[in-house]
Chain A
């Protein structure tokens, strides 16, 4: 049976990964004679991929074909589901998503193996080993504990199918994006540990993994934004982030990963912060595993439910091994991670990056503290105490504000040292304009301190970042006579990393704008309306027109209301909030209708209605100012990251299909 093929391929992939781990370490121990072993380990690690691909491919086939004797297929797939949803059901449940995770890990590891290793040969065996061990853990989970190919003793007529809440584009892309981000950070971690273990502590490992870290960061950012967007579109509570433990689990590695991306610049430019970077990359990997553990073990109460299983303690065990192992090597090599230079002055870009690291760490610790708080209290005082959602906004808000402010100041600072006078000269105009803006807002009646500070900081950072572009463009224009547009293009293209980074900063400014607006100025109301009756919110008036119930498909019943939205006596939209009901699953999903503009979202949910006559219906409405800047910002974030990471002219292509083990074998003893 096909499922057996899948299972066999899975077991073989585990064996191959174990082989890769063992031979890579053995080869590393044997010095020059170890080269053929390392070459073999490399091939084995590459070989895990086709085996896992076969296994994953089989699972997808089983899901699409509807082989319901396989328990996993019966749980997440069904006859009536469209094909594309059957494919996405691969990550619709615990076992399948772990298999998917392992497959992504194998893919990334295989790609890394095709790198040109000429300059980093000392790192190779350990990179292989770390990747192999990660894969061993996840594949072992799937082989022994959460088995996707397990068969039922009977053949069900039909499967349960994916929960209707998961049948949404956002829910489809969001998990893969998160996994790509999570798994992606394994590569920088592997290189970092390889540098530690091999003792090759130049910044080669940082340079080699820059694009990997950037790509992982991009996927993780997208995963977070998509999760928020999906919650906003489908869950109907008018918000996009609830500080739920599972959300925090994805945020934590993002925080330290962002810190790492920044801090790595300092190591490359000035040979400083080596200890920080090593610690950050280790913590990021650990947080990835911790995040996966928190999400899947059910150890912290969360609204994102997973079926309870035995994998919780196993994850904990893996963490208990990884942390001492990584920290042990970090401590052992600590002396070698000394900075090549020292800090020259408080007013310097280096210090700004140092504060940057510090703030990211304090935010990470804060979020971790809040998330694990119930566990701590349970352990120490035998009482589970949780923290209300407001806690996070109060604790993390100010720190994020400080971080964003820093984002605006740091690009203005010179390397090594800058006089206060010079800083003053560049900073006075943006500061003045931002303060004026705050003053203007106060005059217009805004009183919320948080919002005023938020807008002030956002404006300041937006201005300083645009100023960076402006100064660069003007310099090119004057020096080379380039037209402004051309100068801008050349500026970005020739300094992709820097100006791509500034584009990302701009995207954060836009997102901050959306967050400040929607957090501090959200309004909501609810009520029952008879046909023709109206209610108002945020300057909008909404009138109930009618409701239609119809059979959309064999498994879906839709109840859709029609409302007209007016502003200043003029009709601006017709919205159709609805309730989708799946009788087979007895599951309904409430789908809000939204009118989106640059300035705000007008968001309406159908809560209830009178049967048969439909004379009356109840609605809940939200007014979310500025929220679309959040989504717009995320699009700019993608663009900025692509610019920052794009290979430039003259850069050597670092990947090649050819790997020359003979070159290693030909090395004379004693040569590096």
Chain B
């Protein structure tokens, strides 16, 4: 039996798409164009800056009132929480620059996150207020799932 590698075409004359392939391509282009348009319009309305604490401080004036996402480490002994009014306050510093001035974060209406504690990592979305505090709309704590802590002797 001859060594027939069957990666040559099967020999049928129909192996090319017929002349009508243009309309399928057109339909495909329409779908893709619609999706691109969707992406474009939605992105404009949903973009938010992702800044470090230091960056936000430095650009404070221009960032006032803008929708921003920040992340940082919770400063020890800075957590204040009132379970009745669901008012939460804490300070965060940059993971990379813990010696810089911390930022006070205020959050209303949400239960204290389980992972909220000293030195946990927080991601907050919201706006910088004129009094220098950060008003958070959403607050996410890093899930400690693979957060491997140093083993103590």
Contacts and interface: CB of A to CB of B under 8 A. Distances in A.
B145 A165 contact: yes
B80 interface: no
A359 B151 contact: no
A548 B142 CA distance: 30
Contacts of B20: 342-343
Interface in A198-240: 199-202, 235-236
Contacts of A303: 123, 140-143
Contact of A336 (B7, B31, B67, B144): B7
Interface residues of A, number: 81
Contact of B47 (A359, A385, A607): A385
A430 B36 CA distance: 31
A398 interface: yes
29 contacts: A94-B146, A154-B153, A165-B144, A166-B145, A304-B146, A305-B121, A305-B146, A307-B146, A307-B147, A333-B7, A340-B15, A341-B12, A343-B17, A343-B24, A346-B24, A358-B28, A384-B51, A387-B43, A390-B46, A391-B46, A395-B42, A526-B111, A589-B114, A608-B81, A608-B83, A609-B83, A618-B84, A618-B86, A672-B4
Contacts of B50: 301, 374, 384-386
Interface string A154-167: 10100110010110
A236 B111 contact: yes
Contacts of B81: 608
A93 B148 contact: yes
A493 interface: no
Nearest to B86: A526
A201 B149 contact: no
A616 B85 CA distance: 12
List 10 A-B pairs, minimum CB-CB distance, nearest first.
Answer: A608-B83, A336-B7, A391-B46, A607-B111, A384-B50, A305-B142, A199-B7, A306-B146, A362-B35, A74-B151
A418 interface: no
B145 A343 contact: no
Interface string A384-400: 11111011001100110
A304 B31 CA distance: 34
B145 A163 contact: yes
Given A166-B145, A301-B50, A672-B3, A342 B16 contact: yes
A605 B113 CA distance: 12
Interface of A: 68, 71, 74-76, 92-94, 97, 152, 154, 156, 159-160, 163, 165-166, 171, 199-202, 235-236, 271, 301, 303-307, 333, 335-336, 338-343, 346, 351, 354-355, 358-359, 362, 365-366, 369, 373-374, 383-388, 390-391, 394-395, 398-399, 526, 528, 586-590, 605, 607-609, 616, 618, 620, 670-672
Task: Among B6, B114, B117, find the residue whose CB has the most chain A CB atoms closer than 10 A.
Answer: B114
B48 interface: yes
Contacts of A304: 142-143, 145-146
A359 B21 contact: no
B15 A366 contact: no
B58 interface: no
B81 to A, nearest CB: 8
Contacts of B32: 358, 362
